[in-house]
Amino acid sequence: MAANTGDLLLHHEFANINGIKMHYVTIGEGPLIVFLHGFPEFWKSWKHQISFFSKKFKVVALDMRGYGETERPIQVGEYRIEKLARDVTELIDSLGQKKATVVGHDWGGAVAWATAMMNPSFVEKLIVMNAPHPAIVQRNAFRNYAQMQKSWYMFFFLLEKAPEKVLSSNNFEILKHMFEISIKRKDRFSLSDIEEYVSSWSKEGGITGGLNYYRANLNEEFWGNLGESIPFPKIKIPTLQIWAEDDMFLGKELTEGTKEFVVDAPFSLNVIPNCGHWVQQEAPEEVNQIMEEFLLNGHN
C-alpha cells in the first residue's frame, strides 16, 4: 500500500516474521538500510533520514515489535533482546536481501548492537545513535551515580501496570512533557509531531509494548548478573556511533571505551553539540551528513 508522507510516496508493507506481523515503510532502490526506532516512538522518527537516503538506497523503517502497526505480543519474554535482534534479521531475509546497513536509536540502537553481535552475517555496516554498547552499560551500572540518577525512570518502568496508568493519564501528559523538556533544539519538533506520537501511544497496548523492552531486558536477572563479566562478541563490522551531547537520559561518558569492542573494522564516534536525545530529529542535517560520509565515502 502506498501513502504520501510529505512529498514522499512511501510503501506501507507487512511481513510475517519471527511469530509476529511486522509493519514497515519502504522507499527507494539500492543497498538496503534498515532503521530501528527507540522508546516511545515509531517508524516516523526517521522521517528526515527516509527522505534523504531514499535517493541512493532502499530504505526500510519499521515499527518495532510492540509499536505502531506491528503486533504486540502479551508475554514479556517476547521482548527479549535476542528475539528483537531476530526480528531484524528475519525482516532482512524476507526482503530477499542477505545484508543491510542497520541503523538504530535508543532501544533501536540496543537492538542494532545485539544484531551485529548475534547475527553479524546480516549486517553490512552498523550505525548506532545515543545507545551505549551493552558492555559499557554493564561497566557503568552502580558505579556511575550521575547516570543512575538519569536512569531513575527505568526502575519505575519495571513495575506492572502502574507505568501504563501514569504515562497514559491526562492524554499522555507526562510522556508529552518528557519530550518537551528533553528536546534541546525546540524548533525541530512541532505540536503535530508530538500528536502523531500520542496517536501511536493511544492504540490498544500502545505503551505496554515499549515498556516490555525494559521489563524483559533490565529485569532482576540483569541487575543480579552485573557482578559477572559477560564476554560480549567483538564486532568486526564497520561501525559508526553518533551521540547527542546534551542527552538528558544518557551521559556522554557512555561512549568511552566503545572502540575496544569493535575489532578488525573501522570505528568512529561523532558527538553533536547542543542537541538532545532525539538526535536524528533534532539535528537531521548533521546526522545525515555524518551517515552519508560513512556509507558512501569510506570511514572517518
The answer to whether 105 and 129 are in contact (CB under 8 A) is yes
| Cβ 122 vs Cβ 271: under 8 Å | no
The one catalytic residue in 24, 37, 63, 106 is 106
- Pair 182, 174: CB distance under 8 Å: no
Handedness of CA 286, 291, 296, 298 (dihedral sign): positive
d(CA 134, CA 126): 15
Known catalytic residue at 67: no
DSSP for 129-185 reads ES---HHHHHHHTTT-HHHHHHTHHHHHHTSSSHHHHHHHHHHHHHHHHHHHHH-SS
277 counts as catalytic: yes
Q: How far apart are CA 199 and CA 196, in angstroms?
A: 5
- Mark out the alpha helices in 45-158 (DSSP H runs): 47-53, 81-94, 107-118, 134-140, 145-150, 152-157
User: Nearest 10 degrees: CA dihedral of 221, 223, 227, 230?
Assistant: 60
CA–CA distance, 248 with 244 (Å, rounded to integer): 10
Active site residue 63: no
Q: What distances in angstroms separate CA 101 from CA 86, 193, 229, one per listed residue? A: 15, 27, 29
DSSP code at position 280:
H
Which is the catalytic residue, given 67, 79, 197, 214?
Answer: 214
**Distance between CA 171 and CA 168 in Å, rounded?**
6
> For cell 525494559, what's the residue?
214
Q: Which residues are catalytic?
A: 106, 214, 277
